[in-house]
């Protein structure tokens, strides 16, 4: 009997302590809610509040409640840029290929607005999408399907319910009808059944209700195979974007300005060092007696980037990169071509000495850093090279996908003189001296 009484005493005492701590936390949160600055200073009392309340009310939410889950549907009527005679009308049907439409089904997740990550990255969202394209020429171009990753965020808040946003898409498209010497010889635009899909769009996001958003804007798309197969002129479109997003678990308070502002750790400016190793393959065409001839095989490309980067803040870093590359297709030539079949010579292609296929360059780099993904651009020139194809300046567009805190996957594309496609850069990377604060999600 005495044991039961003691147990009830313990239960009662524990309940009283939990009730008291809840009252303290509520009062502390009320006192914090009047703070208006984006980066409040931490005091001992704030630390106590953070430990007793913030973790329980925000950071200790279940996994499903830490994020807003979203399902989206989009339609994009497209205009096709006439960058090739095939698109202008030199094709089987004798008419211009100038319009199309794509339909998109997308899943994404977004950090809750009352979290530190939600504030730092301006309501960033990321996810996976599936698209179907119709260019009105299923026999000559096909009706490709695209599978892609995407990420977007707010650029500017115009009103509490209206914002200007951006979004990028990156993935692969399948189901193309590529060039074929016998059956699709006019199509000098698409050379492979699978092609990279790259898209950027800017749009107005209208928060209609706690559940629904309306998106209207402009979308730019590029399809190509990164010179992994010949021909590779690529297809470029501009489109109007109209979409509806269903927010499965968005709270009503997300439609108004939040009163509670979570504490964001101060960012220590520092220099980090990115080392990337990459490789790929590419096709090449050369001019022989005023005729463009495709090489009969693919050539190996591999190289490295070593980039000291100054980290300005959570979302931006810039620096320089030392870029080394071996391009097995650089400066190849034809010394004899007898009866080329399908625009290619099985014999007669020659490779130069090794020093004419190696280059070392310097490039300026800028990177936009977001959760899980980093988008970077670079412009540089080879300072040590064997001449010919390795002369001139080069441009790099790269996507880094976080694998661990310091390691990442690297997907890049190298252009020459702003218009000639060079090669893909598929690789891995590691970041040294990474001092970015860890923000609890």
Cα 186 to its chain centre, rounded Å, is 33
Concatenated DSSP letters of 345-380: -SS-EE---GGGSEEEEEEEEEEEE-SSEEEEEEEE
pLDDT in tens, 273-324: 999 999 999 988 787 776 777 787 889 999 999 999 999 999 999 999 999 9
Q: Which residues contact 190 (CB under 8 A, 6 or more apart)?
A: 141, 176, 177, 178, 179, 223, 225, 231, 233, 234, 235
Distance of CA 24 to the CA centre of its chain: 44
First-to-last alpha carbon distance for the chain, in angstroms, is 48
191: left (phi over 0), alpha (psi -120 to 50) or beta: alpha
Which among 178, 126, 145 is positioned nearest to 375, based on CA atoms? 126
**Residue 207, exposed/middle/buried by CB under 10 A (0-12, 13-18, 19+)?**
buried
Q: How far apart are CA 109 and CA 125, in angstroms?
A: 6
Backbone dihedral angles phi then psi of residue 392, each to the nearest 5 degrees: 85, 180
List the pLDDT tens digit at each of the 441 positions of the chain.
444 444 444 444 444 443 443 443 333 333 333 333 343 444 433 433 333 333 333 333 444 567 999 999 999 999 999 999 999 999 999 999 999 999 999 999 998 877 888 888 988 999 999 999 999 999 999 999 999 999 999 999 999 899 999 999 999 999 999 999 899 999 989 999 999 999 999 999 999 999 999 999 999 999 999 888 888 889 999 999 999 999 999 988 777 766 667 788 899 999 999 999 999 999 887 877 767 777 878 899 999 999 999 999 999 999 999 999 999 999 998 876 655 544 556 667 888 999 999 999 999 999 999 999 999 999 999 999 999 999 989 999 999 999 999 999 999 999 998 888 899 999 999 999 999 998 755
Q: Which residues contact 354 (CB under 8 A, 6 or more apart)?
A: none
Tell me the sheet residues that pair with 166.
153, 202
Q: Could you tell me which of 235, 228, 355, 230 has the C-alpha nearest to residue 293?
A: 230
Under 8 Å CB-to-CB from 431, ≥6 apart: which residues?
272, 273, 274, 406, 407, 408
Q: Return d(Cα 365, Cα 210) in angstroms, integer.
A: 40
CA distance 175 to 298: 22
Say which residue the tokens 């080069």 belong to: 394
């Amino acid at each position: 009997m005495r044991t039961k009484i003691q147990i009830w005493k313990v239960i009662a005492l524990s309940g009283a302590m939990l009730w008291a701590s809840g009252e303290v936390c509520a009062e502390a949160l009320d006192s914090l809610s009047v703070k208006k600055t984006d980066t409040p200073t931490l005091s001992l009392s704030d630390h106590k509040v953070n430990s007793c309340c913030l973790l329980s009310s925000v950071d200790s939410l279940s996994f499903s409640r830490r994020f807003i889950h979203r399902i989206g549907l989009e339609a994009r009527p497209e205009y096709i840029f006439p960058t090739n005679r095939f698109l202008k009308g030199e094709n089987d049907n004798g008419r211009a290929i100038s319009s199309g439409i794509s339909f998109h089904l997308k899943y994404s997740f977004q950090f809750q607005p009352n979290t530190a990550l939600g504030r730092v990255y301006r309501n960033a969202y990321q996810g996976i999408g599936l698209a179907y394209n119709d260019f009105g020429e299923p026999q000559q171009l096909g009706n490709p399907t695209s599978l892609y990753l995407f990420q977007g965020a707010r650029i500017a808040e115009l009103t509490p319910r209206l914002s200007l946003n951006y979004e990028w898409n990156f993935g692969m498209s399948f189901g193309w009808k590529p060039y074929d010497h016998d059956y699709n010889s006019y199509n000098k635009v698409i050379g492979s059944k699978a092609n990279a899909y790259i898209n950027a769009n800017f749009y107005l996001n209208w928060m209609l209700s706690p559940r629904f958003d309306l998106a209207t804007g402009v979308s730019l798309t590029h399809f190509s195979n990164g010179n992994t197969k010949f021909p590779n002129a690529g297809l470029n479109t501009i489109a109007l974007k109209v979409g509806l997003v269903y927010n499965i678990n968005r709270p009503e308070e997300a439609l108004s300005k939040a009163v509670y502002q979570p504490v964001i750790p101060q960012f220590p400016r520092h220099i980090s060092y990115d080392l990337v190793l990459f490789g790929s393959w590419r096709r090449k065409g050369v001019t022989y007696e005023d005729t463009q001839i495709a090489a009969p095989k693919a050539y190996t490309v591999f190289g490295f980037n070593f980039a000291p980067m100054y980290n300005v803040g959570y979302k931006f870093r810039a620096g320089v990169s030392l870029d080394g590359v071996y391009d097995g297709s650089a400066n190849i030539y034809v010394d004899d071509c007898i009866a080329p079949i399908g625009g290619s010579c099985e014999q007669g292609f020659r490779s130069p000495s090794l020093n004419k296929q190696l280059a070392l360059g310097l490039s300026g780099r800028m990177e936009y850093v977001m959760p899980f993904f980093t988008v970077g651009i670079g412009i540089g020139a080879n300072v040590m090279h064997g001449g010919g194809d390795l002369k001139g300046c080069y441009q790099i567009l790269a996507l880094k996908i976080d694998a661990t805190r310091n390691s990442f996957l690297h997907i890049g594309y190298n252009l020459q003189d702003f218009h000639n496609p060079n090669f893909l850069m598929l690789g891995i990377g590691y970041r040294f001296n990474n001092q970015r604060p860890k923000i609890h999600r």
